[in-house]
Amino acid sequence: MAEIIDGKAIAAAVRQDAAAEVRALVEKGIQPGLAVVIVGDDPASRIYVNNKKKACQEIGVYSEEYALPATTTQEELLQLIENLNKKKDINGILVQSPLPQGLDEKAVVENIDPQKDVDAFHAVNVGKIMIGDFQFLPCTPAGVIELLDRSGVSIEGKRCVVVGRSNIVGKPMAMLLLHRNGTVTICHSRTQNLAEVCREADILVAAVGRPKFITKDMVKPGAAVIDVGMDRDENGKLCGDVDFDAVKEIAGYITPVPGGVGPMTIAMLMKNVVCAAKIQNGLPV
């Protein structure tokens, strides 16, 4: 039976560490600040934004919300980004996705100052992650590494399989595991013998967005299984990309959904905001 990795408890510890860093910065006269931009009225986006504001409040980060109507033009949005880039009291800028149809998400990300890009989506930050000389990491992959570290799962020399190749999770996840000396395979919709490849993994990260896609027969006994998915099953119940009840019988470690990777994403965002405040004030990170 697998050891359940408690993402809520680990995320709370990360937020606690970030709060201590915020207090130390405030004592130096530096107040870390985050601007969150939400366009339109997507209900899921509203929940995420509220959770981010709540986390800021909890650790002592100053936050500003810019709620724009769905009719906002590309020019108006880029103008706001430009204004936030210049704001001295804002260290991090986060534009909640998805954006309404007609807005160019890529152009928006590329207009954020890379030092304020606390999502680490800007091409400059993506390039730095590629060469291993990064200041920020994308929040979800960074959260996965933190979960493994704090659960005592060693990455070095292990066979690591990432299922999913998105720019937000799959690709950076593979790079972070590689930087930690894992031997990494990325699987996707064209991968042949997928189950066979997954069964070789000592560390299996599922990020495909398909409910209960990873089944028991795809998992090596004793493997660490990290479920990045956030899906709904046939009964509308929240679940992940892993068939949790079946896989926990064979895995060595497993993250639940909810309560696994999810809480880590916002905790790592807070860590990135603190990091941004340090960089912009010439302090060591």
Q: What type of residue is 163?
A: V
Annotated catalytic, 149? no
Q: How far apart are CA 96 and CA 119, in angstroms?
A: 10
Q: How far apart are CA 141 and CA 230, in angstroms?
A: 15
Tell me which of 113, 117, 119, 243 is the catalytic residue.
Answer: 119
Name the DSSP class of 98: S
Q: How many CA atoms lie within 13 A of 204 on its CB side?
A: 35
Annotated catalytic, 96? yes
Annotated catalytic, 119? yes
**In the chain, alpha helices (H):** 7-27, 43-59, 74-86, 105-110, 123-131, 139-150, 170-179, 194-199, 244-247, 262-280
End-to-end CA distance of the chain: 39
Q: Which residues are catalytic?
A: 52, 96, 119
